[in-house]
Chains A and B, each alone.
Chain A
Amino acid sequence: MNMINIIKNNLHRAFALRNYVALTMSITLALILGATFLTSQAQSLGRIAVIGDIGEIVHYVNQFEIHQLEEPPAMSEMVRNRYDAVLTRQQDGQFEVFTLRSGEFKALLEQFLDDPAAASGIELKTRGTATNILGFLLMYILIQGIMFMKFFSEDKENGTFKRIVTGPVGIQGYLASQFITTFLLIYLPTFTVLIFSREILKVDLGLSYLYYSWLLALIVCIAAAAAICLTAFVEKEDNAMTLAGAIIVMTSLLSGAFYTIDHNNLIIKTFNSILPQTFVGIVQGVEQELLVSSYLSEIAYLLLTTVLLFTVGLWVCRNRFNRGAY
């Protein structure tokens, strides 16, 4: 009963943030549209600029994106990955290959020029719509977790935290209430935007509402629990925001939320498997219609991570409270 009162009170306080909630919904919509657009773009092994007669290369546009140019692109364009390689037709009819990419790519390209048929056997790794949507939303949802945990920071700073937890609800109940508030403030608007995207804007979301309901719930749980943990450690709201932002940006990039990470480094792979953002792998599994059992362990891992983060946050908070920090 007391927890419900805290949740209700937080939602009243959240009413003052309604403009901000509207802004977050707009950004969520933009991310969904951006991710959908990204999926619609054809994937390729690389963008190739061809100077001179394209010749037989034109048959292999499925594997590479070919652009015929009159002049070689500027070096800055190469550095900015506008083109992955420049093929210049020589007088003897052969192509000179120039690329800034790794030696392996150059070798692949040269192999393709020698034996074009071999390229057709190369499989392109594509990401599904839902993977892109949830991957793009992932970082933003994690940041929202910190933002909507502001009531916890505020309560600590203005003394109401102490007031509340010395009552019957206790620290555990209080933090659970904050978890639920944050969950609702992220989940409901985000799901609303998904429905709006599909029903009104006719965007193909890649998966059904049922799948989105639990996939979204999973990541919002992680976001709320991580926010509680971080906010428990860092007292000032502004510092929590800055630190959280940095951690989230870096771990999201590392985990392949925006693009598929294809690194063979053991440390990266291990790190990847620990990060909660690897929930993207679950989405991929769902989209590929794999058996639930193939990603059940990841789901369990994420749920466990949620519990762990919450518990750590609770422990830190309780410890500080008992030491008289509040």
Chain B
Amino acid sequence: MLKNNDLYSFYAIFKRDLVNIVLNPVLLISNTLFPFVLVMLLSYLTSGSYGSGGVTAYDYYAVTILIYAVLNTAMTASNSFMEKSLKTSNLRIMYAPIKLSHIYMAKIVATFIFTSVCFLGYIIFFNLVFGVNFGGENLIYVILIVLFMNLLSSVTGVFFCCVFKSEELTNKIISVVINVFAILGSLFFRLDGLGPAAERISFISPAKWAAEAIFRIIYDSDFSLFIPGILMLLMASVALLIGCKITFKVEDYVY
């Protein structure tokens, strides 16, 4: 009975969090329209870099911007947790007889589900309308990498909120980090062609690894980075979840 109530409470909180995200027009647009426009723009600007061999600029940017959008999930997560107008009402829940972990877990799950649906829609759209190659029969592997990365992003946003206790500060730091990772990962323009030094630096960026893994699966049917990648993403997510448990203290928000 108790366990039932536990799950029910979690479900109630998760539902509220999901609705909060969906009702936020900025979050909705930044997870749907913005990546789409970015792909169109970059593909058009760099259309000269592709044209032969059956690969278009859309094939490149649809993948890289998908990775960029997944990185930005961290900002959606932090917004859903501690955005100013939601913070006091979200934290009122801590007076209720629920597990404290439900408070941040619900945000993680809500963000993950919302953004995953957006990204799956994105993949379907670009595949059907622009014929973007997402791996064909290997599509499931690409989707799994995207989903695990999305999970890590969702946890990251919430974790930093637990640490900084402020969505504003979290987003300021995360947005800079994301854009640096995006540039180093050649998500907007290639860095690889700038020599061995640039290439070495680019390996700092998780975006680089994700792009590498996905492009290898799609074009080389090379799964060498798949299992290590998934494992690393999973381990990092678990580590940050533990971090949330350690850093989220209710009394930081009442005193």
A binds B: yes
Partner-B contacts on A (CB < 8 A): 20, 23, 27, 30, 37-38, 41, 47, 65, 74-76, 78-82, 84, 98-106, 143, 147, 150, 157, 236-239, 241-243, 245-246, 249-250, 253-254, 258-259, 261-263, 265, 268
Cβ of A258: which chain B residues have Cβ within 8 Å of it?
Answer: 188-189
A253/B52 in contact, CB under 8 A: no
State whether the Cβ of B1 lies closer than 8 Å to any Cβ in chain A.
no
A79/B60 in contact, CB under 8 A: yes
Contact with A along B47-62 (1 / 0, CB 8 A): 1111111010001100
Is the contact region of chain B dominated by helix, strand, or loop, or is it mixed?
A: helix
A78/B194 in contact, CB under 8 A: no
Nearest-neighbour CB distance to chain B for A64, whole angstroms, equals: 12
Cβ of A27: which chain B residues have Cβ within 8 Å of it?
Answer: 176, 180
B176/A243 in contact, CB under 8 A: no
Nearest-neighbour CB distance to chain B for A34, whole angstroms, equals: 8
State whether the Cβ of B79 lies closer than 8 Å to any Cβ in chain A.
yes
Q: A243 contacts which of B26, B42, B171, B192 (Cβ < 8 Å)?
A: B26
Q: A238 contacts which of B37, B171, B198 (Cβ < 8 Å)?
A: B171
Q: A99-B52, A102-B49, A238-B167 are in contact. Are A80 and B34 (CB under 8 A)?
A: no
CA distance A27 to B83 in the complex (A): 25
Contact with A along B86-98 (1 / 0, CB 8 A): 0000000000000
Q: A236-B85, A249-B38 are in contact. Are A80 and B192 (CB under 8 A)?
A: yes
Contact residues, B233-251 vs A (CB, 8 A): none
Q: Which of A81, A236, A263 has the most CB of B within 10 A?
A: A81
CA distance A9 to B192 in the complex (A): 46
Q: A250 contacts which of B38, B49, B53, B179 (Cβ < 8 Å)?
A: B38
The number of residue pairs between A and B whose CB atoms lie closer than 8 Å in the complex comes to: 130
B198/A41 in contact, CB under 8 A: yes
Nearest-neighbour CB distance to chain B for A100, whole angstroms, equals: 4
Q: A103 contacts which of B30, B52, B83, B198 (Cβ < 8 Å)?
A: B52
A80/B48 in contact, CB under 8 A: no
Nearest-neighbour CB distance to chain B for A148, whole angstroms, equals: 11
Contact with A along B173-196 (1 / 0, CB 8 A): 101100110000010111011110
State whether the Cβ of B252 lies closer than 8 Å to any Cβ in chain A.
no
State whether the Cβ of B197 lies closer than 8 Å to any Cβ in chain A.
yes
State whether the Cβ of B211 lies closer than 8 Å to any Cβ in chain A.
yes
Contact residues, B197-222 vs A (CB, 8 A): 197-198, 211-212, 215-216, 218-220, 222
Q: B41 contacts which of A30, A237, A254 (Cβ < 8 Å)?
A: A254
Is the contact region of chain A dominated by helix, strand, or loop, or is it mixed?
A: helix
A102/B220 in contact, CB under 8 A: no
CA distance A65 to B171 in the complex (A): 40
Closest to A80 in B: B215
A-B contact pairs, 21 of them (CB 8 A): A23-B173, A37-B197, A38-B194, A76-B222, A79-B219, A81-B186, A81-B190, A81-B192, A81-B193, A82-B190, A99-B53, A100-B55, A238-B171, A242-B30, A245-B175, A249-B179, A253-B38, A253-B45, A254-B41, A268-B44, A268-B45
CA distance A241 to B37 in the complex (A): 18
CA distance A295 to B179 in the complex (A): 31
A75/B194 in contact, CB under 8 A: no
Q: A102 contacts which of B48, B180, B192, B212 (Cβ < 8 Å)?
A: B48
A79/B75 in contact, CB under 8 A: no
A74/B216 in contact, CB under 8 A: yes
Q: B79 contacts which of A75, A106, A238 (Cβ < 8 Å)?
A: A238
CA distance A143 to B59 in the complex (A): 29
Nearest-neighbour CB distance to chain B for A66, whole angstroms, equals: 13
B222/A101 in contact, CB under 8 A: no
State whether the Cβ of B172 lies closer than 8 Å to any Cβ in chain A.
yes
Cβ of A76: which chain B residues have Cβ within 8 Å of it?
Answer: 212, 215-216, 218-220, 222
B45/A254 in contact, CB under 8 A: yes
Closest to A81 in B: B190
Cβ of B222: which chain A residues have Cβ within 8 Å of it?
Answer: 74, 76
